[in-house]
């Protein structure tokens, strides 16, 4: 009988070794392609390879102090020490839905203690390992129970521009129909409400609209109270569903209540909503990411079913969230004296960011940089849209060793007394010199 050849017999010894095929079979990962890196990852890689001593990285998402390092709040440092020294503390797994005290306090921060939704017990809070996880859990819930019988799968509307990772998060949850609505206008250097409303007016009923409640990334431009009133009227009339984002809570205005006003307002109008929160920025807990998903429902009779769905989804994603960071946040928010101290520290952070904006604007004015730079102080929070185009951004990285996102967005806290003049001069040159 003629011996049959193995399917892989054409591979020579060299090819086998290159493929790591010691057992005579190709790896199941042979055809896996390298995933495209995010703009931030590519920028950070280029920055690290840059040997220029004057280089500046302005594309990070953390808050940086005047010494150029990520900042830890004094209060948080003290509470960490207290908790670690507490002999009654025992390591244990939290519930899949998180620490009860944390979710209660996080809910109150978003809605206010006297919120009608809280009083009527139609609010669910779920602790998540960071902001991204909160968005993912919200996407999974929408896919599972927004319209279970019809297997709802979108569309989801994201602002243009928005965080590059948002579309991928919804797609990973099985929602492939991702669309955009107009948000930032390059000519006006601000939010264009007319075009935003025009896009949402065309959205099919039960579409999900993802809206930044505070500190819009990457523009730093937020909606006014009047604009929110107009948008929520459209959402209710067109039967759309709001998914609100509240990433660096309190780091936009230095005021927790003001940052959460859109969430409070939407809930007060009787709207169902989801809201993804993050406490990593405002507590400096970057290594212990603390997120929260808030669900406001129409009736409290729906609470148990939604809670059970959330718990089931969490078990398949991350089983249990980490207790460390959430315990710190809960400790602060449950103590009135701690809350006062925390708010004061956050206020200093915001005031420093505003001072940097004013100083940068003044430096650019004195240098004679083309255009009006009042937008630097009209925006708020950690992020700022400079209005620079991709060529000018490329000039900054190649010629001046200053790195910011292709959209022209920069993190204002990364600017300090040592690099302010150099960055201002670099922006001026980018505007007046061809690459």
Judge whether residue 337 has pLDDT over 50.
yes
Cα 119 from Cα 112, distance rounded (Å): 11
Q: Which of 50-54, 58-62, 101-105, 251-255 has the lowest mean pLDDT?
A: 251-255
Backbone angles phi, psi at 195, to 5 degrees: -70, -35
**What are the structural domains, with CATH classification, of the chain?**
39-61+339-432 (3.90.1150.10), 76-86+93-334 (3.40.640.10)
* CB proximity list for 179: less than 8 A, separation 6 or greater: 155, 156, 157, 158, 203, 207
Judge whether residue 184 has pLDDT over 50.
yes
The percentage of the chain sitting over the pLDDT mark of 90, rounded to a whole number, equals: 63
Mean pLDDT, residues 74-86 = 90
* CB proximity list for 280: less than 8 A, separation 6 or greater: 130, 131, 286, 288, 289, 290, 291, 325
pLDDT category, 220, cuts 50, 70, 90?
confident
pLDDT category, 9, cuts 50, 70, 90?
very low
pLDDT of residue 147: 47
What's this model's pTM, rounded to 2 decimal places? 0.88
DSSP-assigned letter for residue 52 = -
pLDDT category, 13, cuts 50, 70, 90?
low
pLDDT category, 17, cuts 50, 70, 90?
low
pLDDT of residue 275: 97
* CB proximity list for 250: less than 8 A, separation 6 or greater: 256, 259, 282, 343, 346, 350
The percentage of the chain sitting over the pLDDT mark of 70, rounded to a whole number, equals: 91
Judge whether residue 292 has pLDDT over 60.
yes
Strands (E), 87-177: 123-128, 156-160
Structure tokens at 263: 């969430």
Check: CB of residue 181 under 8 Å from CB of residue 157: yes
pLDDT of residue 79: 93
């Amino acid at each position: 009988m003629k011996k049959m050849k193995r399917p892989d017999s054409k591979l020579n010894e060299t090819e086998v070794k290159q493929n790591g095929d010691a057992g005579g079979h190709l790896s199941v990962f042979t055809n896996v392609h390298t995933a495209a890196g995010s703009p931030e990852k590519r920028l950070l890689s280029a920055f690290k390879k840059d040997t220029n001593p004057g280089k500046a990285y302005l594309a990070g998402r953390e808050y940086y102090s005047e010494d150029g390092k990520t900042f830890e709040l004094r209060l948080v440092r003290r509470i960490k020490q207290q908790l670690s020294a507490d002999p009654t503390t025992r390591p244990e797994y939290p519930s899949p839905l998180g620490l009860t005290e944390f979710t209660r306090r996080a809910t109150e921060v978003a809605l206010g203690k006297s919120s009608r939704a809280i009083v009527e017990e139609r609010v669910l809070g779920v602790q998540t390992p960071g902001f991204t996880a909160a968005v993912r859990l919200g996407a999974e819930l929408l896919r599972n129970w927004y319209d279970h019988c019809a297997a709802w799968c979108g569309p989801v509307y994201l602002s243009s521009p928005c965080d590059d990772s948002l579309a991928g998060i919804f797609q990973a949850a099985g929602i492939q129909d991702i669309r955009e609505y107009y948000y930032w206008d390059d000519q006006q250097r601000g939010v264009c409400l007319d075009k935003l409303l025009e896009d949402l007016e065309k959205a099919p009923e039960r579409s999900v609209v993802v809206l930044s409640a505070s500190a819009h990334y990457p523009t730093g431009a937020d909606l006014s109270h009047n604009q929110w009133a107009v948008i929520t009227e459209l959402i209710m009339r067109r039967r759309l569903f709001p998914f609100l984002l509240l990433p660096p809570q309190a780091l936009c205005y230095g005021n927790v209540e003001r940052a959460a006003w859109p969430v409070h307002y939407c809930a007060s109008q009787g709207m169902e909503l989801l809201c993804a929160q993050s406490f990593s920025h405002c507590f400096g807990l970057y290594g212990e990411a603390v997120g929260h998903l808030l669900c406001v429902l129409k009736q409290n009779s729906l609470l148990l079913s939604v809670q059970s769905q959330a718990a089931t989804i969490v078990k398949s994603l991350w089983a249990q969230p980490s207790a460390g960071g959430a315990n710190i946040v809960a400790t602060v928010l449950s103590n009135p004296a701690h809350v006062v101290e925390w708010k004061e520290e956050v206020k200093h952070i915001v005031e420093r960011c505003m001072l940097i904006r004013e100083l940068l604007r003044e430096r650019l004015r004195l240098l004679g940089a083309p255009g009006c730079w009042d937008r630097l102080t009209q925006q708020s929070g950690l992020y700022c849209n400079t209005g620079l185009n991709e060529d000018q951004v490329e000039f900054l990285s190649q010629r001046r060793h200053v790195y910011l996102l292709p959209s022209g967005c920069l993190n204002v806290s990364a600017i300090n007394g040592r690099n302010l003049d150099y960055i201002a001069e670099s922006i001026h040159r980018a505007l007046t010199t061809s690459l």
